[in-house]
Amino acid sequence: MKRLLLVTDPIGGSTSVQFDILESLAQGLGPLYELTVYTPHCDPMRRLALLEDRCKMILPEPDDFPLNRFLQSRGTGNESMLWAESWTREAMFRRNSREAIDSLRSHEFDYVVNLSMTVPYRSDLWWVLGTPLDQTIRGMASVNVYARMVDHLAGRTLASLDGKLLHEIQSGTMRIVANSPYLRDLYRARGVPVEGVVYTLKDMSEFQPTTPSPRRDYVLLYVGKETDRLDFEALLDAGVKVVGFGSKIPTGTRIKRFTQSIEWLGRVSKRKLVDLYSNALFTLFPFTCEPMGLVPIESMACGTPVLTYDRQGPATTVVNNSTGWLVHTPDEMVKKATHLWQRGATGISPRDCVLRAQNFSGKRMVNELSSWIEGACPVDAADEFTPEPAWSATHVTHRAVGRA
């Protein structure tokens, strides 16, 4: 069996996006490859879970993330801060790349896939999963005072450092794909030759309608760290019942902002979430920065349409007026949500939503990623991208002068 190394950003605790992706990959790629995961840091419980999924784990010794340990001891740690510490380690001191080289020096792999934005390492494929740092900060600045301060005081410096870090990852890989058309176009505009798209998907078998007669007596709201600012009081005044869930409150946002105007559930189990999706009139999904967005896909899989913005990832997954509605601004979202609530019906077929969600399956992700790994997925003629001269030189010589 061929040996495949997956390089990732740090893997946090119970709400880790990195873990969710790896768990899906382990289930899908496990029968095809002998899997090994390298990461600068991994939560102990997540490490055990990946080992149970037959993933070998390689981590540097010692695990030197002091800020993360401090935040965890105070109960304020999260994967975003863990990622920020990992970014600082590499952008400022190149620690991640040096540790990766040292830790992997004695190991051999047939293929290497880099899923990371903070760990440069020689690879056959770089799978871009997130926006550049300056883009992320700029998106959050509209609703987050801390992000506005960072952008104002250090935005250019951070953008320059991040650009150099991403170039290190880029110059050490043979091929590049992104996890959404939005990211593909964004990176291409910055001169990065992204060749195609492989969505980061997961096993959706548990996400399906739970009842033939859904109640449709509330609107479901996902609250995450990139949730956009909406006038929830206006929705409340209009009689719209909003039920909110989530475990990643935006940094700098008081929970009272949500609990004063909506029914707040916080973190819920997967079984509860599927039932919430299935019985909602529609799912409300405002965001500041969302390269892909699994929430709309989960909602559609449960037969429930989605009201979201006509940009970035959700604009490519939600079909306007067929599986949901795409609006431009927060004011338009409030107006549309109020209209749909007062009408009491969406006019959208649950079956159409389910069929749309089926286009985004974990099996599709595994099949497409394995094709890229094996080098069998050529650049589509209609999707061709001509790289800059500087890229061509590093691309061709990567095997000889890569980071490892």
Domain with 40, as residue range(s), is 2-202+362-397
Q: 29-33, 131-135, 301-305 — which is least confidently predicted?
A: 131-135
214 occurs within a structural domain: no
The distance of Cα 299 from the centroid of its chain, to the nearest Å, equals 16
Within 10 angstroms of residue 328's Cβ, the number of other Cβ atoms is 10
Q: Do 79 and 181 fall within a single domain? A: yes
Residue 157, pLDDT above cutoff 80 = yes
Q: Do 163 and 304 fall within a single domain? A: no
Q: Do 226 and 352 fall within a single domain? A: yes
* Mean pLDDT, rounded, of the chain: 87
Query: What is the identity of the amino acid at 379?
Result: V
- CA neighbor of 80 nearest in space, from 197, 318, 258, 250: 250
Q: Do 393 and 350 fall within a single domain? A: no
208 occurs within a structural domain: no
Q: Do 59 and 197 fall within a single domain? A: yes
Q: Do 160 and 306 fall within a single domain? A: no
The distance of Cα 111 from the centroid of its chain, to the nearest Å, equals 23
Q: Do 38 and 156 fall within a single domain? A: yes
**C-alpha gyration radius of the chain:** 21
CA dist 223 and 286 (Å) reads: 9
Q: Do 99 and 127 fall within a single domain? A: yes
Q: Do 156 and 229 fall within a single domain? A: no
CA dist 12 and 67 (Å) reads: 13
212 occurs within a structural domain: no
Q: Do 269 and 185 fall within a single domain? A: no
Within 10 angstroms of residue 210's Cβ, the number of other Cβ atoms is 15
CA dist 320 and 120 (Å) reads: 39
Token pair belonging to 43: 């939560």
Q: Do 126 and 259 fall within a single domain? A: no
For 116-133, b where at least 16 C-beta lie within 10 A, e where not — what string?
Answer: bbbbbbbbbbbbbbbbbb
Count up the domains in the chain and report the number.
Answer: 2
Phi, psi at residue 58, to the nearest 5°? Answer: -125, 125
Residue 214, pLDDT above cutoff 60 = yes
Residues in the chain: 404
Q: Do 179 and 308 fall within a single domain? A: no
CATH code assigned at 273: 3.40.50.2000
**Structure confidence by residue, pLDDT tens digits, 292-335:** 889 999 999 999 999 999 999 999 999 999 999 999 999 999 99
159 occurs within a structural domain: yes
In which element (H, E) is residue 325 found? strand 324-327
Token pair belonging to 181: 């058309």
Token pair belonging to 296: 């709309």
135 occurs within a structural domain: yes
52 occurs within a structural domain: yes
Token pair belonging to 250: 């935006």
Structure confidence at residue 254 (pLDDT): 55
Cβ atoms of 42 and 57 closer than 8 Å: yes
Structure confidence at residue 243 (pLDDT): 95
Own/partner contacts of 370-378, CB < 8 Å, gap of 24 or more, are 370/29, 370/32, 372/125, 372/175, 372/177, 372/196, 372/198, 373/4, 373/111, 373/113, 373/124, 373/125, 374/111, 375/124, 375/175, 377/196
Q: 203-217, 255-269, 291-305, 338-352 — which is least confidently predicted?
A: 255-269
249 occurs within a structural domain: yes
Predicted structure pTM score: 0.85
Structure confidence at residue 388 (pLDDT): 36
171 occurs within a structural domain: yes
E-assigned strands of 151-294? 173-178, 196-197, 219-222, 242-245, 263-266, 282-285
Token pair belonging to 320: 């306007």
Structure confidence at residue 404 (pLDDT): 37
